[in-house]
Structure 1
Amino acid sequence: MAEIIFRSKMDAKRFYDHLLKCFRGNPSNQDILLLEDRYIVKVLDRKVNLEKVKLAFYEFIVKIKRDDWFRAILQDQYFFEDSEEQQHIMEIIYSVLEGQREDLSVLIKENGEEPNIREAVEEIFQDNVSFSFDSFLKFRLRPYLKVLESYVEISIDEYKMEQEYQMFIQTLRDFLTGREPKMDTLHLLFDEEITFFDEKFEEIKRGELMRMIDRKLLFNHPVYVDSASIAPLLSIAPKSILLYTKNPEEPLVRTIRNIFEERVLVKSFKGLRPTKEWIQQENNANENGA
């Protein structure tokens, strides 16, 4: 027999429901009991596979309770009480957990390896065992909670950076709104360096680009605006930008697309640096396709 004692009635009920779900009605409720008045889940050993109980308890920790702990850390330690903000940060956390954000995952690993929860669960379950979930949490899972704090901390930093980036993008969109275009079409080549071409496919030299820059832009946004790319683009405010790149997911390419939105057409290339003639052919092909 195994007996797990909870401090929270809700936790007892949720573990009980999860346990029944894992066994899918077999064994019956007579073999898995919820003592609601004492917040105890009792598993009788005569028919119940203890290995399945261990697995259900493990899943309860890393799937059900983990969300509770993440949200408690967000609210109690970092004072994120708004549910929408919490949800945004939770999405970042889970993108890290699911391996979608390797740049952030590396930072977690630098803070220490995640404790072996399965091993801790295995140790706490013995024949005819009775234990407190909250004591298990306090004495066996403290390192795990520290790791969860690391996930939250890093994800909050990422969230704040994303918020700042969105504000930056919106500020530059506002600058662009209503601005008179100085050129209908601009060709922008991303390679070892960024090269601007006008509507006649003639290269716009660096000195000429600098003369085109609206000084108010650099004065008002000196930290965020790149004088080699963003500042000239915003100052010229072309009706359309044809952007040629080997890597469409490059951060600066994404930023330009986010600022200029439907004005940007990205065309990828491989191999050697494109010539002016190649750019012209690509443009002609695009016009004919349209």
Structure 2
Amino acid sequence: MQLLSIGIIEPVEGLEDRLKLEFDILKDEGLEITLKKFSKSTTIYYYCYVDDDILLKGNYEDLRKMFFHCVANALSDIIINFWEPKLIKKIIKDNYFYFDANEQNRIYEFAADILNFNETCGKQNLFYQIKRKTFVLHKIIDYLKTSSTIILDGFINFRLKAYIDQLEEAVDKAIDEYLMDKEYREFIKLLRYFVDLQEPKKDLVNVVLRGGEFYLLDDKMNLIEKDEGMDMIARENPDVNPDDILVSTLINMAPKKIVIHGFKGREKVEVINALYNIFEGRITFCTNCEICIELKPLKTK
């Protein structure tokens, strides 16, 4: 008896193996599925058969539900892992065709990150991919309750509107993030050019991160006095970020070398990244000097 036919227009690498993996699980449960592959015109069909004797021995409805769940599990995996990247790229190409190939690739990377990003903890989280898969899986199961044939390409385009809407929303957000990132990179490039044009006012500046604040020391580990102009800006504009003051101060000094102390890879990541990009080739990190290890009090002149 034929339980289901699965059709695909665009060849999907690994689909047959993924189905057979699920059918091996069913075999252990006493339900042996035979898979046959045929081509008709532009469509490849996979026909799923089961011996009538097997159905007669057990509860037909229970076996049928178990079979459809396994098929849905395989197809939802294929959609998330094979089709999702293609769908995102198609959305970008169709809606934002004016970006060149390299820009579209960057937008895709942003979209993929957004889809799996947990804003609460600020990290990538596989849970969101699993959540999308679960949504698709249940849509497939609902569809198979009333149909013995599923054409995967058409199912995605016409039955997964809410899922595709989510991908489109991620792409829209990715465009905003890409443009902000592009603007940031151009700004960093401009600052780096400005630094390269200047004559260094210091050979070496030590940047010490302690208690969430930065301190600047010279090559003899003496505290560098604050620039009066920058200090005035900070006083008159309390909303100005102290980190921005730090970056501006270092740009004005344009030191030949900057050594960063006390950075553990978590605190003040954004400003450290900015300094690393602006002073490309001039930044080094220290973790084993007296300041880093013993946290001695800062000396003043």
TM-score (norm 2): 0.69
Counterpart in the other structure of 1:288: none
Q: Deviations over 1:29-74 (max 9, x none)?
A: x832233315251413127x65553333212211111122101111
Q: Deviations over 1:76-120 (max 9, x none)?
A: 2233553322222222333344558754879xx8xxx85711111
The question of 1:234 aligning with 2:212 is answered no
**Aligned equivalents of 1:228, 1:143: Cα separation in 2:** 46
The question of 1:119 aligning with 2:138 is answered yes
The question of 1:84 aligning with 2:80 is answered no
**Aligned equivalents of 2:124, 2:167: Cα separation in 1:** 12
How far is the alpha carbon of 1:143 from its aligned partner?
A: 0.8
Counterpart in the other structure of 1:262: 281
In 1, are the aligned partners of 2:261 and 2:292 still within 8 Å (CA)? no
Counterpart in the other structure of 2:262: 245
Q: Structure 1 151/87 Cα, relative in aligned 2: closer, same or farther at 3 Å? A: same
Counterpart in the other structure of 1:34: 38
Counterpart in the other structure of 1:3: 5
1:19 maps to amino acid: L
The question of 1:171 aligning with 2:190 is answered yes
In 2, are the aligned partners of 1:169 and 1:258 still within 8 Å (CA)? yes
**Aligned equivalents of 2:197, 2:153: Cα separation in 1:** 60
Counterpart in the other structure of 1:160: 179
Secondary structure of 1:148's counterpart equals helix
The question of 1:129 aligning with 2:148 is answered yes
1:3 maps to amino acid: S
Consecutive unaligned residues of structure 2, counting only runs of 5 or more, are: 25-33, 52-66, 234-239
Q: Structure 1 209/132 Cα, relative in aligned 2: closer, same or farther at 3 Å? A: same
1:241 maps to amino acid: I
In 2, are the aligned partners of 1:187 and 1:201 still within 8 Å (CA)? yes
How far is the alpha carbon of 1:129 from its aligned partner?
A: 0.5
Counterpart in the other structure of 2:219: 199
In 2, are the aligned partners of 1:209 and 1:232 still within 8 Å (CA)? no
1:205 maps to amino acid: E
Q: Identity of aligned pairs, percent?
A: 24
Q: Structure 1 207/64 Cα, relative in aligned 2: closer, same or farther at 3 Å? A: closer
Secondary structure of 2:5's counterpart equals strand
Q: Structure 1 19/242 Cα, relative in aligned 2: closer, same or farther at 3 Å? A: closer
**Aligned equivalents of 2:293, 2:160: Cα separation in 1:** 52
How far is the alpha carbon of 1:272 from its aligned partner?
A: 9.6
Consecutive unaligned residues of structure 1, counting only runs of 5 or more, are: 214-222, 280-290
The question of 1:20 aligning with 2:16 is answered yes
**Aligned equivalents of 1:104, 1:77: Cα separation in 2:** 28
Q: After alignment, is 76-85 or 250-259 more displaced? A: 76-85
Q: Deviations over 1:188-235 (max 9, x none)?
A: 223343322223333222244649x9xxxxxxxxx9997611222112
How far is the alpha carbon of 1:254 from its aligned partner?
A: 1.3
**Aligned equivalents of 2:104, 2:143: Cα separation in 1:** 33
The question of 1:275 aligning with 2:297 is answered yes
